[in-house]
């Protein structure tokens, strides 16, 4: 999971670097969603107490 998110983040950075604005924003959104999902996967014990 972390590797997949990492490659999405890398793609977002390269899209921004090569001025592909729409791709960069789409990949950014996917990367951010990935970070949140993986965070939930690793921290679900605490987050289950909150929600």
Partner 1 sequence: MDAYWTRFVAWGQIVAVCFVLTGSVLYQFVLGELPCPLCVMQRLSFLLACVGPILILRARNAEAPSHKSFDARCFALTIFASLAGGAVSGRQILLHIVPPDPGYGPPVLHVHLYTWALIVFVCLIISSAAGVMDLVAHPKVLSSWLVKGAMLWIMTLAVVIVTATFVMEGFHKALPGDPKRYELLHQLRITH
Applying CB under 8 A, the residues found at the interface with partner 1 are 1-3, 5-7, 9-10, 12-14, 16-19, 21, 24-25, 28, 31-32, 34-36, 38-39, 41-43, 46
* Separation in Å, CA 9 to CA 16, 20, 41, 49: 11, 14, 18, 30
Place of tokens 């999902």: 37
The minimum distance between CB 51 and partner 1, in angstroms, equals: 13
The minimum distance between CB 25 and partner 1, in angstroms, equals: 7
By beta-carbon proximity to partner 1, the closer residue of 3 and 48 is 3
Residues written for the chain: 51
């Amino acid at each position: 999971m972390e590797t997949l998110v990492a490659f999405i983040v890398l793609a977002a950075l390269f899209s921004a670097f090569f001025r592909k604005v729409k791709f960069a924003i789409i990949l950014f959104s996917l990367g951010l969603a990935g970070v949140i999902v993986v965070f939930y996967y690793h921290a679900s014990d605490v987050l289950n107490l909150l929600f």
